[in-house]
Amino acid sequence: MSNGIVPAEVARAARGGLAPVAKRLHAVGITASAITVAGVALTIVGAALLVVGQLGAALAVLAIGALADTLDGAIARAAGGGTRFGAFLDSTADRMADAAIFSAAAALGASQGDPILFWSAMVALSASFLVSYVRAKAESLGAAATVGPAPREARLVIVLAGIAGWAILALPPLFVTAVAAVALLSTLTLIQRVVAVAAALQTKSDR
């Protein structure tokens, strides 16, 4: 699976580092679904903190929520594989988390009178949903759709980097730039996936 702009080595190292933690959590009875629910709850709280200007707290809570988003998969693997309900819950939670983050960014854009932030957040929200939908629909039709520079992991990294720049360096434009970058890269990813799926399905129909 493509990690987009996130180097594959970094993604593998992150997953490898979480494996021992996941095994311990599984051993004490903590399920992947529990971590999924906790992760989306933390993300919603972090988004709310972002809206009210608690940048440091928002960054910390959102980072833990993002960690949970990776950890649930590791726990599922430690348990011998995830369940169908677990996969459904994880996908639903991801969409809820994306909605919380980009809705918070749009709310900030509206309250601060920043049209670039507002519309970038709206485009990022729409494109991120469509990127995930295209992949799910393609896989239901027997095609792969994992290409593109901005899968969900990459989108989270960019947004968190933007919040960190704003919180640590007191530079709000870094957050605006991050959201605009997600909007652009998500749109490019959407286009690339649609083209890839169209080519794959056309090839199958020609056989």
Catalytic residue annotation:
94
Give the CA distances from residue 182 to residues 41, 115, 140, in Å, rounded to whole numbers and listed in that order: 22, 16, 26
d(CA 33, CA 163): 27
> Do residues 99 and 155 touch, judged by C-beta distance below 8 A?
no
> Do residues 116 and 177 touch, judged by C-beta distance below 8 A?
no
**Burial class for 159, CB neighbours closer than 10 Å (0-12, 13-18, 19+):** buried
Of 61, 162, 52, 165, nearest to 108 (Cα)? Answer: 52
